[in-house]
Amino acid sequence: MATIGGLSRSFWKMAGAGNDFLVFAGPATVGGREAETIRRLCRRGTGVGADGVLFVSEKETPTGARPEVRVEYFNADGGPARFCANGTRCAARFAVLTGLAEQELVAHTGWGAIGATVRPDGNVTLRLPEPIALGASVPTFDPGGREVEPRAARLAVGVPHLVVFCAGGVEVETLDVATLGPPLRRHPDLPEGANVNFVSVRGGSRLSVRSYERGVEAETLSCGSGVVASAVVAGAERGQLPPVSVATRSGSALVVGFRLEGSLAHDVTLTGDARVVFEGLLKEEAL
Catalytic residue list: 84, 223
> How buried is 62 (Cβ within 10 angstroms: 0-12 exposed, 13-18 middle, 19+ buried)?
exposed
Strand partners, 98: none
Region of residue 267 (left: phi > 0; alpha: psi -120 to 50; beta: else): left
CA distances from 221 to 162, 179, 188, 209, 247 (A): 17, 16, 26, 10, 10
